[in-house]
Amino acid sequence: MATVSLKNIKKRFGDVTTLHGIDLEINDGEFVVFVGPSGCGKTTLLRTISGLEDISEGELQIGGVRMNELPPVKRGIAMVFQSYALYPHMSVFENMAFGLRLAGMSKKDYTPIVQQVAKVLQLDHLLERKPKELSGGQRQRVAIGRAIVQKPEVFLFDEPLSNLDASLRVQMRIEIARLHRELGATMIYVTHDQVEAMTLADRIVVFRAGQLEQVGTPTELYHEPINLFVAGFLGSPGMNFLSGTISSIGADGVQVALTGNQNVTVLVDAAGAKVGDAVTVGVRPEHLHVDLTSNVLTGNAVVLERLGDSSVLYLDNAAAKVPMSVRMPALRHVDIGQRVPLGFKPAHGYLFNADGKAFRR
């Protein structure tokens, strides 16, 4: 059973603490994605799990066995890096066989394993090539193949697709999802890509400054972020935020007087809130609509980005002078500079207290 259990994991580099005590239980066969801003410690945590970095404090267990003192090769893990880390002088075959050879397996034994994995990854016709004779996507498949042949119980991926162009990323993303289904292995995956996180993860872990902010399914995190940070981090473009003060609390929701004389109602559980409290209202770009007459916020159009299947309109909120974004149907036209009234339903609004904590919806 390849459960991965992190108990109060801390990591210090000299005087600087990078991980401040991470507690996380990863289930056998689960696909967990780590996200968070640059420098928050995602790669460091992956490297402490792999054994490439030692653990300053806390305990790591894989399959219920303490791993802190074990070297990487004894942990039953394989890691796939952003840089592929292939040996340039070795052929694809040799690269893929490297770990098995190192473990003492004979050529007779590892050849059929490498051939079978190469076939699954559609690399079988490239086995004699050197890495420099491959495309980026093919190189990354070799790196993944090299991990698979070792039959690890846990795969660690550190931004494996970020050097690939957009269409290859999509192909490889689907490939990784398929591999996860077929291999049933536990996978831990670091990415900056929201789509990869949302589509691949059973659960997403959001980190901030060496600490864990929230863990949940992609849907939970997207719809029920626990605070402003998580709400703003997931979603592209990000959630719109407007600050204000609670003006009344009733059965139909919490009324907020926003900066610049705009009044909106947000349907949340108001436990702990009182009139006069400073709050932030949040609305996702897909929940603002030109034709809705509730909770209208007026913006001046700044940029219209056409994405093909939809467009994103960026505006300046006329009253509060803050930027906003709204997702619109692809064919809708808006002139730059035009005043655009945008409404949202009270049930679609989010509300955060002065500490950034979300009210339950």
Minimum CB distance to ligand ATP, residue 334 (Å): 35
Tell whether residue 282 is a contact of ligand ATP (CB under 6 A).
Answer: no
Among 2, 6, 33, 43, binds ligand ATP (CB under 6 A): 43
Taking CB under 6 A as the binding criterion, the range among 31-39, 71-79, 167-175, 345-353 that sits at the site for ligand ATP is: 31-39
Name residue, tokens 């009324």.
Answer: 255
- Shorter beta-carbon distance to ligand ATP: residue 96 or 212: 212
Taking CB under 6 A as the binding criterion, the range among 35-43, 176-184, 233-241, 244-252 that sits at the site for ligand ATP is: 35-43
Taking CB under 6 A as the binding criterion, the range among 38-46, 164-172, 233-241, 254-262 that sits at the site for ligand ATP is: 38-46
Minimum CB distance to ligand ATP, residue 286 (Å): 26
DSSP one-letter string for 62-124: ETTEE-TTS-GGGTTEEEE-TT----TTS-HHHHHHHHHHHTT--HHHHHHHHHHHHHHTT-G
Residue 343 is classified by DSSP as: B
Tell whether residue 13 is a contact of ligand ATP (CB under 6 A).
Answer: yes
Q: Which residues contact 218 (CB under 8 A, 6 or more apart)?
A: 197, 198, 199, 201, 204
Q: Which residues contact 360 (CB under 8 A, 6 or more apart)?
A: 224, 268, 269, 271
Distance, CA of 79 to chain centre: 18
Among 42, 141, 146, 284, binds ligand ATP (CB under 6 A): 42
Minimum CB distance to ligand ATP, residue 79 (Å): 13
How far is it, in rounded angstroms, from Cα 350 to Cα 241? 9
Best CA proximity match to 60, nearest among 95, 100, 22: 22
Tell whether residue 18 is a contact of ligand ATP (CB under 6 A).
Answer: yes
Residues composing the chain: 361
Among 9, 30, 32, 44, binds ligand ATP (CB under 6 A): 44
How far is it, in rounded angstroms, from Cα 120 to Cα 194? 27
Tell whether residue 38 is a contact of ligand ATP (CB under 6 A).
Answer: yes
Q: How far apart are the first and last CA of the chain?
A: 37
Tell whether residue 39 is a contact of ligand ATP (CB under 6 A).
Answer: yes
Among 32, 36, 110, 187, binds ligand ATP (CB under 6 A): 36
- Shorter beta-carbon distance to ligand ATP: residue 43 or 140: 43
Q: Look up residue 165 and give its two tokens.
A: 């162009």
Taking CB under 6 A as the binding criterion, the range among 37-45, 227-235, 303-311, 341-349 that sits at the site for ligand ATP is: 37-45
How far is it, in rounded angstroms, from Cα 207 to Cα 101? 37
Best CA proximity match to 193, nearest among 82, 336, 113: 82
Tell whether residue 214 is a contact of ligand ATP (CB under 6 A).
Answer: no
Minimum CB distance to ligand ATP, residue 60 (Å): 16
- Shorter beta-carbon distance to ligand ATP: residue 61 or 211: 211
Torsion of CA 272, 275, 277, 279, to 10 degrees: 90
Minimum CB distance to ligand ATP, residue 281 (Å): 30
Tell whether residue 79 is a contact of ligand ATP (CB under 6 A).
Answer: no
Among 6, 26, 41, 161, binds ligand ATP (CB under 6 A): 41
Residues that bind ligand ATP (CB under 6 A): 13, 16, 18, 36, 38-44
